[in-house]
Amino acid sequence: MTRSEVRTESGASYVHAPNRSIDVAGTAFAYREIGPGGGVPLILLNHWGAVLDNFDQRIIDGLSGRHRVVAIDYRGIGASGGTAPVTVEEMALDIIAVIRALGFAQVDLLGFSLGGFVAQDVVMKAPALVRKLILTGTGPAGGWGIDQVGVVSWPLILKGLLTLRDPKYYLFFTSTANGRRAAGAFLKRLKERKSNRVKGPTPSAFLRQLRAIKAWGRRAPQDLSRVRAPVLIANGDNDIMVPTALSHDMARRIPDAQLIIYEDAGHGGIFQYHTDFVSKALAFLTE
């Protein structure tokens, strides 16, 4: 069966999606695919250090009821081969090459955090490739505070180690009762897949991606007025990793962008309000 003949299932769950791989210029890129065949596929690009098992399956399952959804591991991360790039630009070129290798003439992109940086660069480099763009928990090139992600994160990563909690418990959610409940529920969802899980990032790959994030925060701003694809932006009102103000900044600079800000929510606002986010994302993708 060739790649173009791979069948996807509507109504299936991401928990059971098989691990797949495609060779791109000698590097194997890992991905999972779910949802009905045909139509414009939705490509998911995830956060710093994330692998295929870090995508929220409630969001994927909700979106894949109507759309073919493809989640990808970056080069050097998870089950993908090669060495992790140290710039967002290199990551964007990788994703463009993977999309084309998969045989897609046009795609929708959903980028979360680092994935949002990559998605923006993809649409700047290959505008005809992107039909619609969803940017969540993210910010623009040169955005204030992005180069400080490591400074903000390391103490909370250490806190996670000391309290035997996944650092995302502290990094992605607020410290309110609502935030803590949402954090616990999200992390529980990430453990629902029991077999054929993907290894986490190596320390080297984790640090190389942090270098890419810092470089993105320090590079010259891009002219976001050039973005012609419809854009939906979503974030929590208290994002400590990629400041919420940057979501407002992107919404002002991208023509006709739609903006959703979730109350009492942090970097992982779309996970906390996954039901509402899926509903709004589906409406946006079908407009």
> Where exactly are the structural domains of the chain?
3-286
Cα end-to-end span (Å), the chain: 34
Cα–Cα distance for residue pair 76/3, rounded to 1 Å: 22
- The SS3 call for residue 258 is strand
pLDDT of res. 1: 28
pLDDT at position 3: 41
- Phi and psi based region of residue 137 (left: phi greater than 0; alpha: psi -120 to 50; beta: remaining): left
Q: At 218, is the secondary structure helix, strand, or coil?
A: helix
In tens digits, the chain (287 residues) has pLDDT values of 234 334 344 458 999 999 999 999 999 999 999 999 889 999 999 999 999 999 999 999 999 999 999 999 999 999 999 999 999 999 999 999 999 999 999 999 999 999 999 999 999 999 999 999 999 999 999 999 999 999 999 999 999 999 999 999 999 999 999 999 999 999 999 999 999 999 999 999 999 999 999 999 999 999 999 999 999 999 999 999 999 999 999 999 999 999 999 999 999 999 999 999 999 999 999 98
- Give the β-pairing of 69-72 and 27-34: antiparallel
* pTM given for the model: 0.95
Residue type, 56: D
Query: Tokens for 73?
Result: 């591991």
Architecture of the 3-286 domain: 3-Layer(aba) Sandwich (3.40)
For 79, 83, 245, the CA distances from 209, given in Å and listed in that order, are: 16, 10, 23
Pairing relationship of beta strands 107-112 and 42-45 according to DSSP bridges: parallel
